[in-house]
Structure 1
């Protein structure tokens, strides 16, 4: 493996000292002071100043990234948590005022208008918005909020259940929900929900505290609510809340009926009078759960083979990450839940974090995060760090499209034709099945931050939304206590608020990319690569157009893509 790949080395620094260790604010303050006080007397000097600032940002971001990654891998290590919280409490509060001052210095430069509009327009648009929403009084609130958000991972990581004499993480336990023994599924489902209910009040209180903090941040910045503030903070220049409402309605009208037909068919084949929450994951033909790999090492190697068949470059990216040990894939006690790809902009080689247990879902998570990683590799040579920081509507297009594009080569994971067919059917149904949950979580958040409410009213609202966008076939008798806290398992609500509808928008985009691939082959892959290479140097609409698709979530477009997936499902059945 090592003979065939070239391991990147960290580029030589031009501004930040090579041996910098960030163990106090005083170590980095002189660098920010240099940028703030530096005299800029020409367009060239302004661009050099921007490059130096970008280099410093990449160093700082990467230092924070490693603290976050290591803390999540082992939440039981208090020292790792302290190192992360040191950054949140000591570095972040000092960074914010300097970032604001440097933003103003940039925008007020007399040489700003000499910069190439095409190259810098998107970046400068974001800088101006950051200046607009900045408030010094929010700095301690951000520090408090960031620290509090991490409590969710700490609480969730401690959740385990005892089953058959073994202690299982929630990810490991959920795998048993695919077991063909219905009583066994019911038992594990009830154990999982019982454990979740133990922390119901704790997670309710945490969310209440976060909502209060977030609303205060929004009010300080001159916004009526945190929803409106976040649309500005996230740089949502290309759509408004009303467009999100259109998305919710389109999913309710066009996708939920299709998903309901899938679930009705499952219920009929299973021959159940009552379709229960523990019946949604089992194979309807009584087959054992798909197991595409054994352990993290095999998952890595098979992903490399799969990606290499699609494009050798894609496989090469994962090979580099493997050699550099930028992968931590297996579920274990003390490891925070979830999965993510964390960009490391200075070295240019990202990190993939997962909680795999050998399931088909884990295969999908790996190719999803692998899509993010390839996106990061494709952006690594862009001039400024800020050019590499893509909006989530684009970032998720990279990952969700890879889920579908890679399917042609899932025979790497499955030698059995029937198992391969099952995996593809599951994935295509998921491509549509994801959309109602995304719409539900997003609709929930819009309500959360635009309505004063109690935790009881919040759960009632969730039940109302779930009745519209959730599974229409499940019989929840005796399980409403579990149904009303389903949203608590969605870490985005706690850790990255309003980062969720992007999954829905990108899922539509991913289906469109795959449709283009089915029709145009290699041309579609080239378009996909060219779009990702843009980073965030163009608008979302322009990036989607480069990928050969539309940035559109109207009812008509949703219906068009849904019909395409239905046709592809027919071919597999």
Structure 2
């Protein structure tokens, strides 16, 4: 049972034999039962590592036919087989008389996770998930291939983001127009993909006796600590206390730019006497300087980045045929993390790399947890790790900016953009609640609903007059809606937590770092609420907490103005 590292997952007979050996194992004691669990984790880790390697390769080269074939094979053959056997193994675990002899302190949450997984499994859903994966792959193929012509050069959309900050209003308007037109050129295809995904996902929920896919995903994501109602209450708290601050920032931005009407292409713009922040000229500089920043926070963190760089575990450049976005994947057998992103030499690159390093640090701190399910952390914990790292590193960003004005500007921009981002998170989350509670809606209704939600939970200070369709279709380029439905509210929850961590860090740096590492090292052995408590913060979305944090952010921004 220990020879899992000597097979490749595309040999289905060998893979099946590995699972059968586990399934047929005769267990005679609670000790053998725990050993059996560890063997299962090692097998699942090896399978997971190879699946993730194929996923990474596809994201890096969406046009590569050989890579795509391997990824497709995983979706059509490997993953269905794994899901089938994982369900059988879950049942074997749950039905074993030795389960109740395990340490309830350690295995209590594990029992809850396995019971939840059993309640969600239906063999019919495996075929539906193959179709679902194929549709998501199609989404990435379409969006990864989008380019625009800019000054005679073909550019992927990620490279156009820097022009949205240009001090020349015509430049940023032209850049946004090209980006939007490029996305809208494939709107019909993406809308149809969404139609099919909604139908499949609704059927999956019904197959396990749930009313809608939202309820299915809350169980799938093991959201044991909050409900859909809590999400609606969080949305209202954001509407009350975040939008007014967001509007205040936008009014100030309008005044700084000297424009009569504040347009979507003005949100990220710099004034005429400034240039967009450009911390680096290339990826090598980004990695080198990020190393020095992490060294200041904790040498263990910088050593991890250096190791990843030396082992070719970074793919940071933007290029045609590469999927959009950024992510970190953990390779559990190698015990290594991989970072994927699309650099365009802006301040966003600094934030994204440090954000993804937060995930890598999280992986590193829990790599000694033997049980796989306890390393599969809920996204509320995962995003706390990454968003906190953005804020803990801010005081060292002078590594990128020798000019103090630029340094303070980068810090101000970080906090301002967090506030700007929170309403968008709420809009996307509420949009998905509506989509899956009303699965028979039309394309027109879908666009109208997104626009309605944007006007309710986002600042109305931005004028979309004449460009309403851009707002109504803004969701098309948000890959989470297609690939990881309902994975978005975690960003808001994590930002609430990260701002608390930042406040704690300013008050007692040493203790905050101890708490941060302690919380991350728990993995998923404790509930999300307990992980947040271990970090020294509250898992709390109340209006009072949001109000207090927005007041804190405003005071911090005043300090950066004064420095």
- Which secondary structure state, in structure 1, belongs to the residue aligned with residue 342 of structure 2? strand
2:420 is equivalent to residue 433 of structure 1: yes
Residue by residue over 1:46-82, the C-alpha shift from the partner in whole angstroms, topping out at 9 and shown as x without a partner, is 0010000000010000000000001111111111011
2:150 is equivalent to residue 173 of structure 1: no
Can you give the 5+ residue segments of structure 2 that lack an aligned partner in the other structure? Answer: none
2:20 is equivalent to residue 33 of structure 1: yes
Can you give the 5+ residue segments of structure 1 that lack an aligned partner in the other structure? Answer: 1-13
Specify which of 519, 535, 539 is matched with residue 551 of structure 1. Answer: 539
2:537 is equivalent to residue 542 of structure 1: no
Q: After superposing the two structures, state which structure 1 stretch, 194-203 or 501-510, moved more.
A: 194-203
Specify which of 281, 291, 313 is matched with residue 300 of structure 2. Answer: 313
Residue by residue over 1:247-279, the C-alpha shift from the partner in whole angstroms, topping out at 9 and shown as x without a partner, is 110111110110001001111121211111111
Any conservation in 2 of the 1:378–1:532 contact (CA below 8 Å)? yes
Q: Structure 1 residue 138: deviation in Å?
A: 0.8
Counterpart-to-counterpart distance in 1, 2:448 and 2:418: 28
Counterpart-to-counterpart distance in 1, 2:226 and 2:127: 30
Any conservation in 1 of the 2:132–2:200 contact (CA below 8 Å)? yes
Specify which of 508, 511, 520 is matched with residue 520 of structure 1. Answer: 508
Q: Structure 1 residue 286: deviation in Å?
A: 3.3
Specify which of 417, 442, 447 is matched with residue 454 of structure 1. Answer: 442
2:337 is equivalent to residue 363 of structure 1: no
Counterpart-to-counterpart distance in 1, 2:109 and 2:279: 42
Specify which of 423, 448, 468 is matched with residue 480 of structure 1. Answer: 468
- Which secondary structure state, in structure 2, belongs to the residue aligned with residue 453 of structure 1? coil
Specify which of 542, 547, 552 is matched with residue 564 of structure 1. Answer: 552
Counterpart-to-counterpart distance in 2, 1:377 and 1:521: 21
Any conservation in 2 of the 1:24–1:91 contact (CA below 8 Å)? no
Any conservation in 1 of the 2:75–2:133 contact (CA below 8 Å)? yes
Report the equivalent of 2:85: 98
Any conservation in 1 of the 2:30–2:101 contact (CA below 8 Å)? yes
Any conservation in 2 of the 1:441–1:487 contact (CA below 8 Å)? yes
Report the equivalent of 1:470: 458
Give the TM-score normalised by structure 2. 0.98
Report the equivalent of 2:237: 250
Counterpart-to-counterpart distance in 1, 2:231 and 2:393: 29
Specify which of 181, 201, 205 is matched with residue 218 of structure 1. Answer: 205
2:392 is equivalent to residue 405 of structure 1: yes
Residue by residue over 1:537-566, the C-alpha shift from the partner in whole angstroms, topping out at 9 and shown as x without a partner, is 001111000000000001111111111111
Report the equivalent of 2:310: 323
1:342/1:230 CA distance change after superposition, 3 Å: same
Counterpart-to-counterpart distance in 1, 2:160 and 2:83: 42
Q: Structure 1 residue 22: deviation in Å?
A: 2.1
- Which secondary structure state, in structure 1, belongs to the residue aligned with residue 222 of structure 2? coil
Any conservation in 2 of the 1:425–1:572 contact (CA below 8 Å)? yes
2:349 is equivalent to residue 349 of structure 1: no
2:216 is equivalent to residue 229 of structure 1: yes
Any conservation in 2 of the 1:544–1:550 contact (CA below 8 Å)? yes
Q: Structure 1 residue 567: deviation in Å?
A: 0.6
Any conservation in 2 of the 1:24–1:90 contact (CA below 8 Å)? no
Counterpart-to-counterpart distance in 2, 1:313 and 1:394: 20
Report the equivalent of 1:204: 191
- Which secondary structure state, in structure 1, belongs to the residue aligned with residue 155 of structure 2? strand
CA RMSD of aligned residues (A): 1.0
Q: Structure 1 residue 446: deviation in Å?
A: 0.4
Specify which of 113, 121, 125 is matched with residue 138 of structure 1. Answer: 125
- Which secondary structure state, in structure 2, belongs to the residue aligned with residue 553 of structure 1? coil
Q: Which runs of 4+ in 1 moved over 4 A?
A: none
Q: Structure 1 residue 471: deviation in Å?
A: 3.4
Counterpart-to-counterpart distance in 1, 2:73 and 2:273: 51
Task: Work out the number of aligned pairs and report it.
Answer: 560
Counterpart-to-counterpart distance in 2, 1:125 and 1:59: 24
Specify which of 418, 428, 439 is matched with residue 405 of structure 2. Answer: 418
Counterpart-to-counterpart distance in 2, 1:300 and 1:243: 39
Counterpart-to-counterpart distance in 2, 1:15 and 1:486: 49
Residue by residue over 1:451-500, the C-alpha shift from the partner in whole angstroms, topping out at 9 and shown as x without a partner, is 13101101000110011122321111211121110011110000000111
Residue by residue over 1:66-103, the C-alpha shift from the partner in whole angstroms, topping out at 9 and shown as x without a partner, is 00001111111111011001011011111112111100
Specify which of 272, 278, 282 is matched with residue 295 of structure 1. Answer: 282
Q: Structure 1 residue 395: deviation in Å?
A: 0.2
- Which secondary structure state, in structure 2, belongs to the residue aligned with residue 343 of structure 1? strand
Report the equivalent of 2:362: 375
Residue by residue over 1:148-185, the C-alpha shift from the partner in whole angstroms, topping out at 9 and shown as x without a partner, is 11211111111110010011111111211111111111
Report the equivalent of 1:151: 138
Any conservation in 2 of the 1:327–1:353 contact (CA below 8 Å)? yes
Residue by residue over 1:413-445, the C-alpha shift from the partner in whole angstroms, topping out at 9 and shown as x without a partner, is 111111111100000112222211111100100
1:345/1:465 CA distance change after superposition, 3 Å: same
Report the equivalent of 1:396: 383
Q: Structure 1 residue 17: deviation in Å?
A: 4.1
Any conservation in 1 of the 2:135–2:197 contact (CA below 8 Å)? yes
Any conservation in 1 of the 2:281–2:345 contact (CA below 8 Å)? yes
Q: Structure 1 residue 300: deviation in Å?
A: 1.2
